[in-house]
Chains A and B, each alone.
Chain A
Amino acid sequence: MSDRLSVLKTYKLYVGGKFPRSESGRVYEVTDSKGNWLANAPLSSRKDARDAVVAARKAFGGWSGATAYNRGQILYRVAEMLEGRREQFAAEVAEAEGLSKAKAAAQVDAAIDRWVWYAGWSDKVAQIAGSANPVAGPYFNLSSPEPTGVVAVLAPQESSFLGLVSVIAPAIVTGNTVVVVTSEKSPLPALSLGEVLATSDLPGGVVNVLSGRVNELGGPLAAHQDVNAIDLAGAAGDAELVKALETAAADNLKRVLRPQAVDGSAVDWSAGPGTERMLAFLETKTVWHPMGV
């Protein structure tokens, strides 16, 4: 083997389809489970969160207006692109979470399959969440789900990649756009995911990735008047924070998805998902129309 010096990667945010540094110029040290330095991650500010919401809102019209088929194809493309970078993500997850190579690889495989699972939901969710309603009168009456809008997602703290994918994919497959705050301690797999999303035909701004402090970013996102819903998965274990964020979210009646386990007990993200995380960020629209000659 040669003594070649490796080229280190500069990890950056993923906002609006671009890879900016934090506007604050701040970074924080990311270490592996043994405390060894891995990289400096951007320490996002509330202004970064604001910019990310603007990007997500801008992307919402196009993404929610795309056909379900098209969205499904793009999610499947994400799976294809991840498959090709499986080794990279397995290594990052192993370092981030202190897992063996095999366990980390299993996490990555499950995450890839999760994209495939949700890709398949794109043109089916309306078929299980919608209905033709037999109202008592000469009216056609049809209920269909529609995406809520911009969803702020606090990604799980422990499961830096599978957990992350498990919360992003269900939000975007139905047409929402997302601002996700990565695992605070292990942001690197999420920041790398941005590179995959950027090359998967996913329009810029549909997923925006911020690394930093949940305490610093959660508040502004929960209070943001142009955010329609918030997923508090990443606040699990901090009951006070959950309450504070949910309270702030009440200002514009954001839809709130509470952590599965508020007490902080570990969530098994490898378990097969149901439809809950998709349905949480859907509105139901019912159309009436008379029937008559």
Chain B
Amino acid sequence: MSSAFEYAPAPESRAVVDIAPSYGLFIDGEFTEAAGGKVFKTVSPANEEVLSEVTQAGSEDVERAVKAARKAFEKWSALPGAERAKYLFRIARLIQERSRELAVLESLDNGKPIRESRDSDLPLVAAHFFYYAGWADKLGHAGYGADPKPLGVAGQVIPWNFPLLMLAWKIAPALACGNTVVLKPAETTPLSALFFADICRQAGLPKGVVNILTGDGSAGAALVAHPDVNKVAFTGSTEVGKAIARTVAGTDKKLTLELGGKAANIVFDDAPIDQAVEGIVNGIFFNQGHVCCAGSRLLVQESVQDELLAALKRRMSTLRVGDPLDKNTDIGAINSAEQLARITELADAGEAEGAERWAPACELPDAGYWFAPTLFTGVTQAHRIAQEEIFGPVLSVLTFRTPEEAVAKANNTPYGLSAGVWTEKGSRILWMANQLRAGIVWSNTFNKFDPASPFGGYKESGFGREGGRHGLEAYLDV
């Protein structure tokens, strides 16, 4: 949208974050080199600038990290809960104090707009540590017995879409329950986890309680396969989740998986339309659509289809795509060339299969990985773009006539992570929520997260819950 009122660039200062030229692995409270000496580069997806060189962990490093975690477990698990709580409260406060620095770092390494890393990711990260800090000395009240015990060493593998938030979802409950952890951040977004290691140092966290291994999928595979890991937690693709489930089959390892999704965002004709449009936009374009619970299938009641799509297109035309560090950017960069290729391939398939493609006019930067917010109309359940998780800013629009049909279409997927329902009628919201086979149902809102609220999916979206009282179960021997 061009206007006389052009917003001048409003970049967040990069100077608040000081990235070292290289990072080792964080094992037993220290940064160390990898046994194999291999390193790889992490780049800013917005301009392909190399941010730092990080270390590729190999199986020997996994061995060292698990050993350190095992050693630390004895004392950490024996600490009174109130003392563990105070460590976690410290971490929460340190994250709050350093949140601007971490937000900029996250936007640099991930490509997400600073508005989101600043206003969404970082506050949620701090809140998650606060929430689970409070549980550490109250485990006997959580409904898992009078004195529930931790599991031991947790091996945790997290994705690149919310690097620090996924770290918080994994580490906070694990530590609160008395476990120690070895965490592997995603290959393309390792930096915030390495900065978190420094926060652990500032908090005085005992050595070995948190260990961070950077690397590609092979490091993650070695970690989850390690025989001295008692608990495996993974967030990422359904395909890798299945492989991990096979790996831990026949062992005593406790497993939780938070995997893909293809959420239906269902809009009825009596919906609060302006807010529904915001919810649709937020549902699919938040974090460039790199969200497992993204509302990637818009199911709109036929009677309001025209009106809603017109409003949606008008709203999409105001989205500001560009520099993630500009405070006015709504949509940032796609996280990697690989992901961009996948989005491009699926979007092209949508067109080839006969769906109608639309995107607002927007100028994309030359360098870096970019994809314009895109809308497909005339999509049917048979189209790949209605079935497969695109994990990008691409919305598929389908229609329905009755609530039953909406439910049938919404549930007609192997996934079951989330769903959205838009209607002013309360009884219909609750009926729909009852019928939908999904772990989270948002009504008249979308993509809302809170540490007190359990998150996780049905069916091939995984099992186990993160967040809330329910999130403790994954890290307790119950």
Contact = CB atoms under 8 A, between A and B. Distances in A.
Find out whether A and B make contact in their complex, taking CB atoms under 8 A apart as touching: yes
Interface of A: 68-69, 72-73, 76, 113, 116-117, 119-124, 127-128, 138, 140, 275, 289-293
Given A120-B138, A124-B469, A127-B468, 9 more contacts: A69-B131, A69-B452, A117-B137, A121-B138, A122-B134, A124-B135, A128-B141, A289-B426, A291-B427
B430 A290 contact: yes
B193 interface: no
Interface in B131-178: 131, 133-138, 141-143
B134 A72 contact: yes
Nearest to A127: B469
A127 B452 contact: yes
21 contacts: A69-B452, A113-B86, A116-B82, A116-B86, A116-B89, A120-B135, A120-B138, A124-B131, A124-B134, A124-B135, A124-B141, A289-B426, A289-B427, A289-B430, A290-B426, A291-B431, A292-B427, A292-B430, A292-B431, A293-B404, A293-B427
Interface in B222-271: none
A196 to B, nearest CB: 18
Contacts of B403: 293
B423 to A, nearest CB: 10
B267 to A, nearest CB: 16
B471 to A, nearest CB: 11
Nearest to B403: A293
Interface of B: 82, 85-86, 89, 127, 130-131, 133-138, 141-143, 403-404, 426-428, 430-431, 433-434, 451-452, 468-469
A68 B431 CA distance: 29
B89 A123 contact: no
Q: A69, A73, A293 — which one has the most chain B CB atoms within 10 A of its CB?
A: A293
A18 to B, nearest CB: 29
A293 B431 contact: yes
A69 B431 contact: no
A86 to B, nearest CB: 14
A174 to B, nearest CB: 14
Given A127-B452, A292-B431, A119 B426 contact: no
B138 A69 contact: no
B85 A116 contact: yes
A286 B138 CA distance: 25
Q: Please report whether the interface of chain A is mostly helix, strand, loop or mixed according to DSSP.
A: helix
Contacts of A116: 82, 85-86, 89
A122 B426 CA distance: 28
Contacts of B428: 292-293
**Closest 4 A/B residue pairs (Cβ):** A120-B134, A291-B430, A290-B427, A292-B427
Q: B404, B428, B434, B452 — which one has the most chain A CB atoms within 10 A of its CB?
A: B452
Contact of A275 (B141, B431, B451, B468): B141
Given A69-B127, A69-B130, A140-B430, A117 B452 contact: no
A120 B427 CA distance: 34
Nearest to A275: B141
A120 B434 contact: no
B85 A120 contact: yes
Contacts of A73: 130
A21 B468 CA distance: 45
Q: B134, B427, B452 — which one has the most chain A CB atoms within 10 A of its CB?
A: B134
A122 B420 CA distance: 28
A72 B133 CA distance: 11
B469 A76 contact: no
A190 B452 CA distance: 33
A113 B431 CA distance: 45
A119 B134 contact: yes
Nearest to B131: A123
A283 to B, nearest CB: 20
A122 B127 CA distance: 13
B123 to A, nearest CB: 10
Contacts of A275: 141
A121 B143 CA distance: 15
A119 B403 CA distance: 43
Contacts of B136: 120
Given A291-B427, A291-B430, A128 B89 contact: no
Contacts of A291: 427, 430-431, 433-434
A276 B142 CA distance: 15
Nearest to B134: A120
A68 B141 CA distance: 18
Given A120-B85, A120-B137, A291-B431, A128 B131 contact: no
A291 B142 CA distance: 29
A73 B131 CA distance: 10
Given A113-B82, A127-B469, A120 B431 contact: no
A139 to B, nearest CB: 8
A172 to B, nearest CB: 16
B129 to A, nearest CB: 11
A292 B434 CA distance: 10
Contacts of B138: 117, 120-121, 124
B427 A121 contact: no
A292 B426 CA distance: 9
Contacts of A69: 127, 130-131, 452
B276 to A, nearest CB: 19
